[in-house]
Amino acid sequence: MRHCLALDLHDDPALIAEYERHHREVWPEVLQHLRTQGVTELELFRIGTRLVMVMETDDTRFDADAMARAERDDPRLRAWEDLMWTFQKATPWTPPGVKWTPMTSIFRLSDAVSD
């Protein structure tokens, strides 16, 4: 399954550069966690301060609640999330207490009816 989520970064070029550097050197524990949770691919896209995450998951293994619990309960994963939050902020449409916000799909070429 494909998931598309959004998040914002603080509007600070130095912080944005550091955030991108961290994503060129993601901690091995974070990569292992993603794979263990059934994430088969993950891409981050940025324009200005807006981030979009496209995440592909194996639905036989992926459970968003279990993934969140693992992130909360593992000190190393919590440290990564705390570090990332120094660069990140919620979008204006994000509910309180939520970080990455699911986006709504409004068009898919493969579903379009052609003449």
Please name each of the domains of the chain with its CATH number: 2-91 (3.30.70.1090)
Q: What percentage of the chain exceeds 70 in pLDDT?
A: 99
Cα four-point dihedral sign 34, 39, 103, 46: positive
Cα four-point dihedral sign 24, 67, 72, 93: positive
The residues assigned a catalytic role are 10
Closest CA to 99 of 61, 66, 51: 51
Collapsed DSSP state (helix, strand, coil) of residue 35: helix
pLDDT of residue 114: 79
For 45-97, the pLDDT digits (tens) are 999 999 999 999 999 999 999 999 999 999 999 999 999 999 999 999 999 98
Contacts of 27 (CB under 8 A, 6+ apart): 76, 80
Q: What is the mean pLDDT of residues 24-37?
A: 97
